[in-house]
Amino acid sequence: MTETAKTLTINGVKIKIEGERNLLEVARKAGIEIPTFCYHSELSIYGACRLCLVDVKGLGIVASCSTQPQDGMEVLTHTEEIREIRKIALELILANHDQNCTLCSKNTRCKLQSLARKHGINDIRFKRTFVRKPIDRSSYSLVRDPNKCILCGDCVRACNEIQGVGAIGFAGRGAKSTVVPPFNKNLADVECVNCGLCATVCPVGALTVRDDVDKVWQVINDPTKTVVVQIAPAVRVAIGEAFGGVPGAVEIGRIVAALKAIGFDKVFDTSFAADQTIFEEATEFVQRKVKGENLPQFTSCCPAWVKFAEQFLPDLLHNLSTCRSPQHMFGPTARLILPDLLGVKQEDLVIVSIMPCTAKKYECKQDKFIKNGIADIDHVLTTQELVRMIDEAGLRFNELEPTEPDEPFNSYTGGGVIFGTTGGVMEAALRFAVEKISGKKLNKFEYEEVRGEKSIRDATLDVEGLKVKVCVVYGLNNARKVADWIRSGEAQYDFIEVMACPLGCVGGAGQPVTNDMRTRVARAAGLYKSDVSLKFHNPQDNKQLSDCYEKYFEDGIGGHTAHSLLHTTYQNRRRISGITLPVLSYGTGVQVKVTVCVGTSCFARGSEDLLKEIEDFVQAGALGNVLQVEAAFCMESCDKGPMVLVGEEVINHATPEIVIAEIKKQLSLATV
Same domain, 480 and 435: yes
Output the CA angle 154-156-160, nearest 5 degrees: 120
CA–CA gap between residue 43 and residue 45 (Å, rounded)? 6
Range of the domain at 479: 213-397+415-566
CA atoms within 13 Å, Cβ hemisphere of 333: 29
C-alpha 450 chain-centroid distance? 21
Residue 416 has pLDDT above 50, yes or no: yes
CA–CA gap between residue 415 and residue 528 (Å, rounded)? 9
Coil, helix or strand at residue 13: strand
Same domain, 95 and 243: no
Rounded to two decimals, what is the model's pTM? 0.83
Same domain, 166 and 246: no
In the predicted model, what is the mean pLDDT of the chain? 89
130: domain CATH number is 3.30.70.20
Number of structural domains (the chain) is 4
Same domain, 63 and 117: no
Q: Is 407 inside a domain boundary?
A: no
650 DSSP β-pair partners: 645
CA–CA gap between residue 468 and residue 643 (Å, rounded)? 37
pLDDT of residue 636: 61
Q: Is 653 inside a domain boundary?
A: yes
Q: Is 408 inside a domain boundary?
A: no
Q: Is 465 inside a domain boundary?
A: yes
Mean pLDDT over residues 10-18, rounded? 91
Q: Is 335 inside a domain boundary?
A: yes
**pLDDT-derived band at 614, boundaries 50, 70, 90:** confident
Per cent of the chain over pLDDT 70 is 94
Q: What is the pLDDT of residues 81-125, one digit of tens each?
A: 999 999 998 988 898 888 888 888 888 888 888 888 988 888 888
Same domain, 313 and 440: yes
Per cent of the chain over pLDDT 90 is 64
The residue out of 78, 96, 117 marking a domain boundary is 78
Same domain, 486 and 559: yes
The total number of residues shown for the chain amounts to 672
55: domain CATH number is 3.10.20.740
Q: Is 409 inside a domain boundary?
A: no
Segments of 475-557 assigned E as strands: 495-499
Q: What is the pLDDT of residues 633-656, one digit of tens each?
A: 665 666 787 888 888 788 888 898
The residue out of 33, 49, 78 marking a domain boundary is 78
Residue 582 has pLDDT above 50, yes or no: no
pLDDT of residue 625: 64
SS (H, E, C) 317-371: HHHECCECCHHHHHHHHHHHHHHHHHCCCHHHEEEEEEECCCHHHHHCCCHHHEE
CA atoms within 13 Å, Cβ hemisphere of 659: 31
What is the sign of the dihedral through the CA atoms of 493, 495, 499 and 505? negative
Output the CA angle 88-92-98, nearest 5 degrees: 140
Residue 612 has pLDDT above 90, yes or no: no
Same domain, 192 and 341: no
Q: For the CA atoms of the chain, what is the radius of gyration? A: 27
Give how far Cα 240 sits from Cα of 168, 236, 366, 387, Å. Answer: 32, 8, 31, 9
Same domain, 297 and 157: no
Same domain, 522 and 622: no
Q: What is the pLDDT of residues 276-322, one digit of tens each?
A: 999 999 999 999 998 988 999 999 999 999 999 999 998 899 999 99
Lowest mean pLDDT among 335-349, 455-469, 578-592, 595-609: 578-592
Mean pLDDT over residues 356-378, rounded? 95
Mean pLDDT over residues 135-160, rounded? 94
171 DSSP β-pair partners: 178
CA–CA gap between residue 178 and residue 206 (Å, rounded)? 12
The residue out of 78, 111, 135 marking a domain boundary is 78
Q: Is 572 inside a domain boundary?
A: no
Same domain, 66 and 92: no
Cβ within 8 Å of residue 487, ≥6 positions away: 315
